[in-house]
Amino acid sequence: MARSSNRRLFTEYRQLFENCPDGIVAGPKTEDNFLEWEALIAGPEGTPFEFGVFVTELKFPADYPMSPPKMRFLSDMFHPNVYPDGRVCISILHAPGEDPTGYESSHERWSPILSVEKILISVMSMLAEPNVESGANIDACKMWRENRDEFNKIAHNLVKKSLCIM
């Protein structure tokens, strides 16, 4: 099974290398292991994260693409859909099938037709438009809703930290 995962990930890596979307750079941490990647995500324009460059990691299961990877920010991140330990909480990274809580429909969850590129673009969109109804960081959700200026100040400081200018 890992061989087909590696083949798929190699293909996705080649596609990203040849035609990488703006604001994203991604690839395996080492040439020996295609199941662990690092990615750089630029903060989306017009958001409090603009100009930041945030380091993330993706860990792919042996049965990828049948199961989604795990993703987390290695850079500090304060965001409603990012757990305090950096893990990303976004629907497309949730296991395929029906949501046991009934919150997400099955078409919002992981599907083998998704790719690393689509994941990273979705995370960039998430940075711009958090889902505060399904928060991973309750403090960030509350601040996003009730004190946007303070949220923006924290985000701007994270941008400076990501650029090592703090």
Could you count the other beta carbons within 10 Å of the beta carbon of residue 74?
12
Distances (CA, A) of 145 to 58, 77, 141, 142, 153: 29, 17, 6, 5, 14
Omega prior to 68 cis, within 30 of 0: no
Residue 134, SS3 per DSSP: helix
**For the chain, where are the E strands, in sequence order?**
24-30, 33-42, 53-59, 70-73
Joined together, the tokens standing for residue 125 give 């969109």
What DSSP letter does each residue of 12-36 carry, written as one string?
A: HHHHHHHSPPTTEEEEEEETTEEEE
Indicate which residues carry an active-site annotation.
Answer: 89
Closest C-alpha among 25, 23, 4, 3 to residue 13: 25
Identify whether the C-beta of residue 56 lies closer than 8 Å to the C-beta of residue 72. yes
